[in-house]
Structure 1
Amino acid sequence: MSEKNRTPRLSIPSWAATTGWLLLCLALAPHALGQEMRVETVSYKNGDLELRAFLYRPPGPGPYPAIVYNHGSEKNLAYIDRLAVPFVQQGYVFFAPNRRGHGRSPGTYILDVLGTLRGAEWSQALVRLHEEQLSDQLAGVAYLKNLPFVDSGRIGVYGWSFGGIQTLLAAERSESGYKAAVSCAGAAQTWPASPDLRTRLTEAAQKAAVPLFLLQAQNDHSLAAIEGLSEVLRRNGKPHQARVYPAFGATPQQGHEFCVQGSEIWGPEVFAFFAQHLR
Structure 2
Amino acid sequence: MNRSLRGSLVTLVTWVLVLVFFFPVFWMVLNGFKPESVASSVNPRVFFTPVTEGYQLAMDRGMQGYLLNSVTASVTATIIAVVLAIPAAYALSIRRVKNVEGALTFFISTRFMPLAAVVLPLFMILKELNLLDNVYMLAIVYGAVNLPVTVWMMRSFFLEVPFEIIEAARVDGAGLGREIFRVALPLVLPGVAAAALICFIFSWNEYFLATLLTSSAARTTPPFLGSFVDGRGQFLAVLSAAATIAALPVIIAGWVAQKQLVRGLSMGAIK
Q: Which has the higher contact order (CA 8 A, sep 6+)?
A: 2
Q: What interval of TM-score do these two structures reach, taking the shorter chain for normalisation?
A: under 0.3
TM-score by length of 2: 0.23
Which of these two proteins has the greater Rg computed from alpha carbons? Answer: 2
TM-score by length of 1: 0.23
